[in-house]
Amino acid sequence: MRILGIDPGLGATGYGIIEEKDFKVVEAGVIRTKANTPIQERIKKIFDEISDVIEERKPGVLVLEKIYSHYKHPTTAILMGHARAMACLVCGKFNIRLINYPSTRIKKALTGPENGPEFS
């Protein structure tokens, strides 16, 4: 099965697709939008490009970073929330299972067991 991971952001949404059996990277990229573009156009661009990736690569699951907000930067969480909503919508459109993980768990899984618990 292919796994699509998304690091949501309104200015830059990162994504990567891996093969579950051997963790081989199939594709990775960044979708960038410009701050001076209306928000509905920015979200549509992210949605359309992620939709294209899904149609081409056919992932079975989408892993999404849980929202994190520092009390000093609430706007960051709100902007990230727009991109997260797009990812949830795209899962509904393509009937893909959605899994939410804290960013710390994902980072520890990628850096190895010597830096924290394995991804499970």
Alpha carbon separation from 106 to 39, 52, 56, 112 (Å, rounded): 28, 24, 25, 10
Residue 89 inside a domain? The answer is: yes
Alpha carbon separation from 61 to 33, 99, 114 (Å, rounded): 25, 7, 27
Select the more confidently predicted residue: 119 or 5.
5
Read off the pLDDT band of 23 (50, 70, 90).
confident
Q: Which residues pair with 62 in a beta bridge?
A: 4, 98
Residue 120 inside a domain? The answer is: no
Residue 85 inside a domain? The answer is: yes
Q: Is 58 left (phi over 0), alpha (psi -120 to 50) or beta?
A: left
Residue 54 inside a domain? The answer is: yes
Domain count, the chain: 1
- Going by the DSSP 8-state scheme, the letter that residue 114 receives in this structure is G
Is residue 18's pLDDT more than 90? Answer: yes
- pLDDT tens column, 66-117: 766 666 767 777 777 888 899 999 999 999 999 988 766 666 665 665 544 4
Select the more confidently predicted residue: 71 or 29.
29
Q: Which domain holds residue 74?
A: 2-115
CA–CA dist 103, 13 (Å, integer):
14
**Mean of per-residue pLDDT scores for the chain:** 84
Residue 104 inside a domain? The answer is: yes
CATH (domain of 102): 3.30.420.10
